[in-house]
Structure 1
Amino acid sequence: MTEAPLVLGEGPLRPEDVVSVAYGRRIVLGRAARERMLASRAVLEGALARGDAVYGLTTGVGAIKTISVAPEAQAEFQVRLLRAHRVGHGELAPPPFVRAVMAVRAAGLAVGVAGVRPDLAEAFCTALDSPVTPRVHQLGSIGQADLSQLAEIGLALIGYGEDGAALAATGYSPIVLQPREAHAIVCANSYSMGVACLGLHRADLALRALDVSAATSLEALCGNVDAMHPAVAAVRPHRGVAETVERLHKLLRGGGLLTGARRPRMLQDPLAFKVVPQTHGAARAALGHCRDNLEVELASSGDSPIVLAEEDRAISTGNHDITPVAIGLDYARLGLAQAVTIAGERVQKLLDGSFTGLTTGLRPDPGSPDDGLAIVANGAASLAAEARLLAQPVTLEQPTSGIAAGIEDRITNAPTAARRLHDMAGLAIRLAAVELICAAQAIDLRGITGELGEGTLRAYQATRRSIPVATPEAADGDIDALQSWLTSDELP
């Protein structure tokens, strides 16, 4: 069944809405949004007719905010503003990133305080129907409005350059910008927000995958499931802990560990096994905080100036500062890093016979000189290290206070924070796949397949569909397929 189009103006935009548009859902401008935009546009046109000084409408922007834009220069100024802000560098963003950006910017305009015509929001929506996605460079924004990325999209929307021609060739009609509209295109944090929504979605998947790999490792270790007792969350109810305990119980349900039919090997397991509820709970809390801030931002306008229809004027604001989201993204990565760290440690413990009571490297033949899975530890440590490096906060970094003649003396680095969350979550999912490979091998060596829980049995079976039992003669298997399963709807 084809998903119904997302209608802007019928309710707040949610992160999952942005994800759905990024992967192909249609988006259209609703009637209420259109009416709000027409009302604010009328106010701005009145200011223009009176000759009021309005930033980005009758003046230049940034360091040239004191220079007036003459009425006869408005059409040319719109194009020049977009060209001047096209300063991107680095790799091109994947098409889903760009589609997410376009959806977020259309939604921001639909709030109805930017003073632009509905036509501009509809241009974003119509362009999203095209099979052509504008090329956007990943680097160039410092997180005080994603000027460079949005300028590249804006130029495509007006039919400028190769991307504009490619878009127009699909039947899209380039928009002719009116006063203020070029500035309205770039004056937003839509790249940061779009990528943040995709990063949060991927991080949620990663944490669910780590729940599965952690529960399967508990089975493999014959761990003590008392540490997952519901009382753990009841007597210390930090956000996310109860949800994690419930999820672990669901995965282990029906298995020998949870029923008590299989006794734990040790009274006290290593912390990487014992503190999964607390650690994953903290990660869930961090991701939840990030989601809260994204939802506020998605339902808001980050424009400056904003039109106050009831006062018949436009005012300059600091709403382009995205500090709450940037800090939330840093917090999300720090939380996820804790779950990644203990996953990496569980891999090391599963490969160490002193903790499992099995062979080093989980070799099927104790007398074999073969390494077994021992060297898997290196790859796991590399993944965990890379992820932790991506978790380092970026909101404290201030490369210069001299941008725009010293006006932009405070930055957030929100786009970097968002990209790093997305990348880090991908590493976490890969690490969960590595952990499952080790856990499945230990389960086979113990011969306890028939004693697994409902969810951990499904994880074991999915692993064995892609990865054979490790022997000196066995093929390596397809870890990419296992990684894909960890992000699929089949995940328990």
Structure 2
Amino acid sequence: MLSAASGGVLRAVLVDGSSLTVDDVAEVAFGKARVEIAIGVQERVEEARRAIVELTESGAVVYGVTTGFGALASHRVSPREACLLQRNLILSHSTGVGRELPKEAVRAMMLVRLNTLAKGYSGVRYRVLELLAEALNRDLVPVVPEKGSVGASGDLAPLSHMALALMGEGEAYWRGRRVRGEELKKALRELGGPLELSYKEGLALNNGTPATAGLACLLIHEGQAVAELADLALAMTMEALLCSTDPLNSRLHELRPHRGQAESAKLARAFLAGSCLVGSSSKPMLREMGLSLAELVELEGSPEGTRVRLSSRLLSALGVSSAQLAEAITLKTGIRAHAEGKYSLGLVCPVSEARELLSEMDFTRAELGRVQDAYSIRCAPVVHGALREALSFARRIVEVEINSVSDNPVIMPDSREVLSGANFHGQPLALALDTLAIALTYVSLISERRVFRLLDPALNRGLPPFLIEGSGLKTGLMITQYTAAALASESKVLAHPASADTIPTSANQEDHVSMSMTAALKARKILENTKTVLAIELLNASQAISLRLEAAGLSESCLGAGTKAAYSYIGELLGLPIREDRPYSRDIIRVRETLPEILDAARGKLAD
């Protein structure tokens, strides 16, 4: 998993207990950085260790060190049994079930645990930190089931499975294989293990929020890319539907200065820079595309005045029917016009007058009756911006959490005090993750609505029904919207806040819990759903653009800087335009799997 670009040395993330960032965690989790324990950490850790050794061996009553756990806290444990207590803790708390957490999520959890121990208030030996660092740098990854945490006393089950593997008792991935038993212990010996737990070390490893916090780091890191992908999908849909760019105008967002919506509008503008398919509602459309009305019509006399034969290029370029164009001409000139067929209309005036009238005529979106686009277009910067605000809120909460002491009790080395509190309780994380889950759901819902508009012939401004020529015999991309709707609706169900729930545990000693890990797992599923919905929008928007350009006789040069790059990438990937029905799930999956490359292609063309 660990890899350096171009054979170079991996960047080192310094573990000092106070400066870890969300992006640091993501880089280490995905094997793009190694860890290095900062100078000064060992001294802090060993001072706290001396304190816990003195307290334990003097017979002091210390929760979880010389007592049982939870509802068993009143049970005293002798110093000679204190190490066995820690081993039993990890064995008994390894109760996780369900699917395995992804390797990157486990690595994120390990790094967060390492950083919290580096603060020097947990009472562990320094070799515990060294083993965690070696496991990260050598890519030994414990097998950790995803279910079993209620978010207080922290993430007990997942963290216990992590510790179990470091003890040589569980399972782990090592050099591409799943290992256990003697094979695992042999691997651990290469790293300075296996770990034989001493006073408080089991509790320091399995108590706290690192599993939730690690997942949260990955969600925030990937969520930022989702926010940008949403803006790219919006921009491409706007081009396909010949939309107004007025909702992206920076002056609008200055008057309601939520940072998220301003950033969303700015990025969409950047993706669309130079596009001739979009523009202000008051800006003439044909001139922008390099087209002339006079060149796209033929005139002939009729008993009523003039018959105007319309080219399909004209109607596609304007995104109108002959009836809509006739109404626009009537309103613009005062001369009555009426549709006579799909590609013809009548003007109640002589041919000579009609020729002069049409020679310089152009139309704005407003003149074609499109003063405003639908909410799924017009409100998108606000909705996408709300995701950015949720990401910002979550990042602030999470970056405090991953640089905090979250196990219990806390050892105060200077005074030799032991403070029992609740830094393990995951409520701040649960609330932030639920907020992020809801914001991601909004993005999938508004994206699905744009997919619907692209496919519906009553809404897609002259494109073929379900984005395929010969619809009827062919179904086209119709059912891709069903998939988007299914995923968006599933996310609505999952968006119910986990943080609104609690359930008593440990004989009512632990009578309020946060469900933070549940919030993280739900948010992860919603993130994946949202990525797929956006992939479906990108697929439909790209097919729509290809049909629009072809019908209007325009080239890719009409597209925006970023949208052209994304369209070219997707077009080459899928062989657009699609002309015959095929299993579209393959197209969805191919776009979904290449979302990072599509976004990079679009970003790479943006002006500084």
Report the TM-score when normalising by structure 1: 0.95
Which among 111, 119, 142 is matched to residue 111 of structure 1? Answer: 119
Deviations 1:56-81 (A, max 9, x none): 11111111101111111122222111
Residue 442 (structure 1) aligned to one of 544, 553, 556: 544
Query: AA paired with 2:532?
Result: R
Q: Map 1:95-134 to 2 at 5 A.
A: 95-134=103-142
How far did 1:168 drift?
2.6
Q: Which amino acid aligns with 2:69?
A: V
Q: How far 1:10 sits from its partner (Å)?
A: 7.3
Deviation for aligned residue 1:478: 3.7
What amino acid is the match of 1:20?
E
Which of 263, 272, 275 lines up with 1:252 in the alignment?
272
Q: What is the deviation of 1:415? A: 0.9
Question: Quick one: which of 471, 482, 489 aligns to 2:591?
Answer: 482
Counterpart amino acid of residue 197 in structure 1: C
2:205 corresponds to which residue?
A: 185
Q: Would you say the 8 A contact 1:202–1:422 is kept in 2?
A: no
Aligned ranges for residues 318-397 of structure 1 at < 5 Å?
Answer: 318-357=422-461, 358-365=463-470, 368-397=472-501
**Higher radius of gyration, 1 or 2:** 2
The aligned amino acid for 1:13 is: L
> Distance between the aligned counterparts of 2:571 and 2:583, measured in 1?
12
CA contact (8 A) 2:219 2:524 kept: yes
User: Against the structure 1 CA distance between its residues 420 and 491, is the aligned structure 2 distance closer, same or farther, given a 3 Å change threshold?
Assistant: farther
- CA–CA distance in structure 1, aligned partners of residues 181 and 379 of structure 2: 53
2:103 alignment partner AA: P
Counterpart secondary structure, 1:395: helix
Distance 1:245 1:2 in 2: 38
Which residue among 21, 26, 30 is the counterpart of 1:23? 30
* Paired AA for residue 470 in structure 1: I
The alignment status of 1:465 with 2:572, answered yes or no, reads yes
Q: For the structure 1 residues 491 and 70, does the alpha-carbon distance in structure 2 shift closer, same or farther, using more than 3 Å as the test? A: farther
Residues 316-336 of structure 1: CA distance to partner in whole angstroms, max 9, x if unpaired?
A: 011111211110000111112
The number of residues matched between the two structures is: 489
Aligned-partner SS, 2:11: coil
Partner of 1:316: 420
Q: Does 1:419 align with 2:521?
A: yes
Q: For 1:480 and 1:384, how far apart are their aligned partners in 2?
A: 17
- 1:75 matched to 2:177? The reply is no
Q: 2:239 maps to which residue?
A: 219
The 2-side partners of 1:91 and 1:474 are apart by: 33
Work out whether residues 206 and 426 of structure 1, in 8 Å CA contact, stay in contact via their aligned partners in 2: no
Amino acid at match of 2:377: F
**TM-superposed deviation, 1:51:** 2.1
**1:430 and 2:529 aligned:** no
Structure 2 counterpart of 1:12: 19
CA distance in 2, matches of 1:26, 1:474: 45
Q: Is the 8 A contact 1:462 1:482 kept in 2?
A: no
Moved more, 23-32 or 157-166: 157-166
Question: What secondary structure does 1:356 align onto?
Answer: coil
Residue among 370, 373, 396 paired with 1:292: 396
Higher strand share: 2
Which secondary structure does the structure 2 equivalent of 1:349 belong to?
Answer: helix
Letter in 2 for 1:287: L
Q: Secondary structure at the match of 1:290?
A: helix
Contact preservation (8 Å) 2:17, 2:116? no
Deviation string for 1:259-303 (max 9, x for gaps)?
852554621111000111111111110111011100110111112
CA distance in 1, matches of 2:47, 2:265: 51
Match for residue 451 of structure 1?
558
Which residue of structure 2 aligns with residue 154 of structure 1? 163
C-alpha distance in 1, partners of 2:491/2:150?
22
Offset at 1:209? 1.1
> What is the aligned partner in structure 1 of residue 176 from structure 2?
none
In the TM superposition, what are the counterparts of 1:200-279 in structure 2 within 5 Å?
A: 200-256=220-276, 257-258=278-279, 260=283, 261=288, 263-264=364-365, 266-279=370-383
Cα distance between partner residues in 1 of 2:184 and 2:404: 29
SS in 1 for 2:230: helix
CA shift for structure 1 position 111: 1.1
SS in 1 for 2:146: strand
Secondary structure at 1:314's aligned position in 2?
strand
Maintained 8 Å contact 2:36/2:133: yes
Deviation track 1:330-389 (CA, whole Å, cap 9, x = no partner) reads 0111112111111000000111111122222122236x5311212221111112112222
1:157-179 CA-partner distances (Å, limit 9, x unpaired): 12224536443322232122211
CA contact (8 A) 2:501 2:515 kept: yes
Unmatched segments (≥5 aa) in structure 1: none
Pairwise mapping of residues 171-182 of structure 1 onto structure 2 (< 5 A)? 171-172=190-191, 173-182=193-202
Structure 2: state its 5+ residue gaps.
1-7, 172-179, 290-363, 604-608
CA contact (8 A) 2:454 2:541 kept: yes
Q: Is the 8 A contact 2:232 2:563 kept in 1?
A: yes
AA of the residue aligned to 1:343: S
Structure 2: how far apart are the matches of 1:142 and 1:387?
Answer: 21
The alpha-carbon deviation at position 45 of structure 1 amounts to: 2.0
Q: Could you tell me whether the CA contact under 8 Å between 2:569 and 2:601 is conserved in 1?
A: no
Question: Is the Cα–Cα contact under 8 Å of residues 155 and 207 in structure 2 kept in the other structure?
Answer: yes
Partner Cα distance (1:83, 1:129) in 2: 26
Give the superposition deviation at 1:258: 4.1
Bigger shift: 138-147 or 260-269? 260-269
Aligned AA (1:169): K
Moved more, 44-53 or 195-204: 44-53
Rounded to whole Å, the distance in 1 between the matches of 2:392 and 2:274 is 30
Q: Tell me, in whole angstroms, the C-alpha distance in 2 between the residues paired with 1:136 and 1:161.
A: 9
**Which of 38-47 and 312-321 deviates more?**
38-47
Give the Cα separation in 1 of the matches to 2:74 and 2:47: 27
| Aligned residue identity for 2:65 | L
Shift of 1:11: 4.7
Partner AA of 1:2 in structure 2: V
Instruction: Give, in angstroms, the shift of residue 226 of structure 1.
Output: 0.3
User: Are the equivalent residues in 1 in contact too, given 2:17–2:117 (CA < 8 A)?
Assistant: no
Which of 161, 164, 169 matches 2:186? 169
- Comparing 411-420 with 287-296, which one deviates more in the overlay? 411-420
Contact preservation (8 Å) 1:60, 1:68 = yes
Partner residue in 1 for 2:510: 408
2:148 to 135, 140, 144: 140
In the alignment, the residues of structure 2 paired with residue 107 and residue 161 of structure 1 have an alpha-carbon distance, to the nearest angstrom, of 23
Residue 485 of structure 1, CA deviation: 2.8
Question: Contact conserved, 1:10 with 1:32, CA < 8 A, in 2?
Answer: no
Contact 1:130-1:167 at 8 Å conserved across structures: no
Q: Is the 8 Å Cα contact of residues 57 and 79 (structure 2) preserved in structure 1?
A: no
CA distance in 2, matches of 1:181, 1:126: 18
Change (3 A) 1:134 1:164: farther
* 3-state secondary structure, aligned to 1:236: coil
Residue by residue over 1:244-267, the C-alpha shift from the partner in whole angstroms, topping out at 9 and shown as x without a partner, is 111011100111124852554621
